[in-house]
Structure 1
Amino acid sequence: MCTSLTLTASDQTTILARTMDFPNVDPWVPTKLPAGTEWQPILGQPATTQFNIVGAARNLNGHTLFGDGINAAGLSCAELYLPSRVTYYDDPQSDKVNLTPQDFILWVLSSHQTVADVLADLPQVALIAHVWYAENKVYPFHWVLADATGATAYIEPTSLTLTATDNPIQVMTNTPTLADHYSGLAAFLQVPDTKQPTLTQASIAWLASGQPLPEGPIPTNRFIRTAINRLGHPQPKTGNDAENAALTYLKQVVTPKLENGQQKPNHNFTHYISFMNTKALTYTHIPIDTMRSQSLSVVDFAK
């Protein structure tokens, strides 16, 4: 139950931003992983990080589970939920790089510099429906990537062959798939097609009219609201402007935690908002309970 968007400012700074919405589990904390760190996928041989990595992670039985992050080459990646739509292999494949969904982000950030590098290696990857160390379920993830060149990629594992899904709006939430989200956005805006110029013009007109945007945690509503905000507002001028705009849009789709004993184990709520600045090479973490921003350099780990 997360929301992500990518913004590229006029100064060519690209920001990947997201909310992390998840049931009540161990906290996601800013985590630094230096280049040269050995990590062990649940399947296959140990791997070694080629770049510094910073992101939000949980430490489970000595293993690091990243929800999002950026490496020192400026490549960023975030995982979101795609329930009832994913297709994984049941068993490891002899001619593939076998990864559980939880291992995918570290595979991306450990050994790739750009989105193009990831897409070139993607045909080698087999996602396996296998539990991961301390967790007892297989997660239905999909992923968004962005790099310092401004390139983005959206990977929806709806078939065994992994490919990138076209997403010029650069917004992603949860189920349904992006194609259905686009159709829902066009229907909401009452336009005849899902082409980006059509949706952009309609979003500008919608915001100018002062008409309300959809509310609530439903993924389709969060997608429509965030897409109209992203398309209907002017392009940010600087990376700082892009971060501020992303924070404004994402605060509108925060799912609050229930208090006074009403919180249920399966209730998704927003733990944090994060920004990955692919030009400044920083990771910014904003916990929802304090809204105190913490920015970490992925290049200089002393900062």
Structure 2
Amino acid sequence: MCTAINFLNQQHENVFGRTMDFHYILDPRLAVFPAGSTWENTLGRQLTDRYAVAGISRHFKNLYVLFDGVNEKGLAGGALYFKGYADFPPFSQQSGKAQVPALDFLHYVLGLCASLDDLRELLADITLVGLQDKLTGTVAPLHWIFTDLSGKSLVVEQIKQGLNAYENPVGVLTNSPDFPWQMTNLRSYIGAAPEQTEQADWGGFRMEPFGQAAGTSVLPGGYTPPARFVRTAFQKLHMVQPETMQEAVIAGFHILEGVTLPNGVVKTANGTFDYTQYTSMIDLPNKVYYFKTYENPQIIRVDLKPVWASGEQTVRDLGSIHVPIRYGTME
């Protein structure tokens, strides 16, 4: 269960963000891959990045599995759960196309593509395959959202019928059902509006609304993927457009607060709880990562440019994104 968004500020600068909701403790870490660096995919093969990449990831031995990330060209993306719909063919020695494990797809794209146009071309030349995730013991059912400096957004979904790429006019993604269904479902809430309902007349019986926000009463509650998709799309598309990038980053965090899961409100079938382990926002033109965690709601800022410019071509694990809460100077 996750939610992702992207939008432009008044300077036409794009920002991308997501919540990471999961029931396993992920221990997310910020990893940096300079241009030309080599990394190992889940097939045990060595790949080299054309462009510098950074992302929040799970680090296990030699493997870095990215949950979200950005590259030096301003292409960003995130992987989200797509249970019940994702369908990946198994790895085959006879395949004529490059086979990319689903867990590696986000990093693979960011390492090779400078834009959404590059991504569209890449999709014609690859096959997404499913490999068992060592954390859950299953083939992770994933789909992806990507965005670049243009502010446009693309959703990539592999289902039983094949690989699909959808233009995303609302810049929002959650989980299942598939993206076309989510877009159709938005029409059920066409009456939602920021304006107030001043009065209703039922056959001569007049009623006044309770205070403000009567125009939003039709929006869905709960934390299901369709409910989160609708609420997030409504908030994102009706907010006052931020003027600066700093305002955009803050606005993004506020929007995602509306779909943040406290630990305990969503219980899984095996008795664990889905909760928002972290929320991230990325300033695409300036290549700056922002994040906060469940344990620490303070926003942490990481400028990626100096790390990429170090001249090294080795992967760098910058450490866990869990940062202790402190105030002022502590001896």
TM-score range, shorter chain: 0.7 to 0.9
1:117 corresponds in structure 2 to 118
Query: Which stretch shifts more, 178-187 or 60-69?
Result: 178-187
DSSP 3-state at the match of 2:83: coil
Residue-by-residue CA offset, 1:100-119 (whole Å, 9 max, x unaligned): 11110110111111111111
1:211 corresponds in structure 2 to 216
Q: Offset at 1:159? A: 4.5
DSSP 3-state at the match of 2:149: coil
Structure 1 position 227 matched with structure 2 position 228 = no
Q: Offset at 1:28? A: 0.9
Question: Could you tell me how far apart the structure 2 residues matched to 1:21 and 1:65 are?
Answer: 16
1:230-249 aligned at under 5 Å gives the runs 230-249=236-255
Q: TM-score, normalised by structure 1?
A: 0.87
Two-structure CA RMSD over aligned residues (Å): 2.5
Structure 1 position 18 matched with structure 2 position 24 = no
Question: Could you tell me how far apart the structure 1 residues matched to 2:113 and 2:189 are?
Answer: 38
1:128 corresponds in structure 2 to 129
Counterpart residue identity of residue 53, structure 1: V
CA 1:96–1:133 in 2, change beyond 3 Å: closer, same or farther?
Answer: farther
1:54 corresponds in structure 2 to 54
1:72 corresponds in structure 2 to 72
DSSP 3-state at the match of 1:300: helix
1:292 corresponds in structure 2 to 298
1:178-217 aligned at under 5 Å gives the runs 178-190=179-191, 202-205=192-195, 209-212=214-217, 213-217=219-223
DSSP 3-state at the match of 1:165: strand
Query: Which stretch shifts more, 96-105 or 174-183?
Result: 174-183
Q: Offset at 1:135? A: 5.5
Counterpart residue identity of residue 15, structure 2: I
Q: Percent of aligned pairs with the same residue? A: 26
Q: TM-score, normalised by structure 2?
A: 0.80
Question: Could you tell me how far apart the structure 2 residues matched to 1:76 and 1:300 are?
Answer: 18
Residue-by-residue CA offset, 1:44-67 (whole Å, 9 max, x unaligned): 742112222221111112211110
Q: Offset at 1:264? A: 6.3
CA 1:17–1:134 in 2, change beyond 3 Å: closer, same or farther?
Answer: closer
Counterpart residue identity of residue 62, structure 2: G
Question: Could you tell me how far apart the structure 2 residues matched to 1:101 and 1:137 are?
Answer: 12
Q: Which has the larger radius of gyration?
A: 2
DSSP 3-state at the match of 1:68: strand
1:6 corresponds in structure 2 to 6
Q: Offset at 1:277? A: 1.3
Structure 1 unmatched runs, 5+: 191-201
Question: Could you tell me how far apart the structure 2 residues matched to 1:126 and 1:180 are?
Answer: 24
1:199 corresponds in structure 2 to none
Question: Could you tell me how far apart the structure 1 residues matched to 2:91 and 2:269 are?
Answer: 36
Q: Offset at 1:188? A: 2.7
Aligned length: 290
Q: Offset at 1:33? A: 2.2
Q: Offset at 1:154? A: 0.8
1:136-147 aligned at under 5 Å gives the runs 136-147=137-148
Query: Which stretch shifts more, 11-20 or 207-216?
Result: 207-216
Query: Which stretch shifts more, 265-274 or 167-176?
Result: 265-274
1:85-100 aligned at under 5 Å gives the runs 85-92=85-92, 94-100=95-101
Whether the 8 Å CA contact 1:28–1:58 is kept in 2: the answer is yes
Question: Could you tell me how far apart the structure 2 residues matched to 1:76 and 1:242 are?
Answer: 16
Query: Which stretch shifts more, 224-233 or 176-185?
Result: 176-185
CA 1:284–1:265 in 2, change beyond 3 Å: closer, same or farther?
Answer: farther
Q: Offset at 1:280? A: 1.1
CA 1:278–1:263 in 2, change beyond 3 Å: closer, same or farther?
Answer: same
Whether the 8 Å CA contact 2:152–2:168 is kept in 1: the answer is no
Q: Offset at 1:298? A: 2.4
Question: Could you tell me how far apart the structure 2 residues matched to 1:91 and 1:54 are?
Answer: 27
Structure having the higher strand fraction is 2
1:276 corresponds in structure 2 to 282
Counterpart residue identity of residue 123, structure 2: L
Question: Could you tell me how far apart the structure 1 residues matched to 2:62 and 2:160 are?
Answer: 32
Structure 1 position 28 matched with structure 2 position 66 = no
Residue-by-residue CA offset, 1:150-176 (whole Å, 9 max, x unaligned): 232111212464331132111110101
Q: Offset at 1:203? A: 4.0
Structure 2 unmatched runs, 5+: 197-211, 311-317, 319-331
Whether the 8 Å CA contact 2:155–2:179 is kept in 1: the answer is no
Question: Could you tell me how far apart the structure 2 residues matched to 1:238 and 1:209 are?
Answer: 30
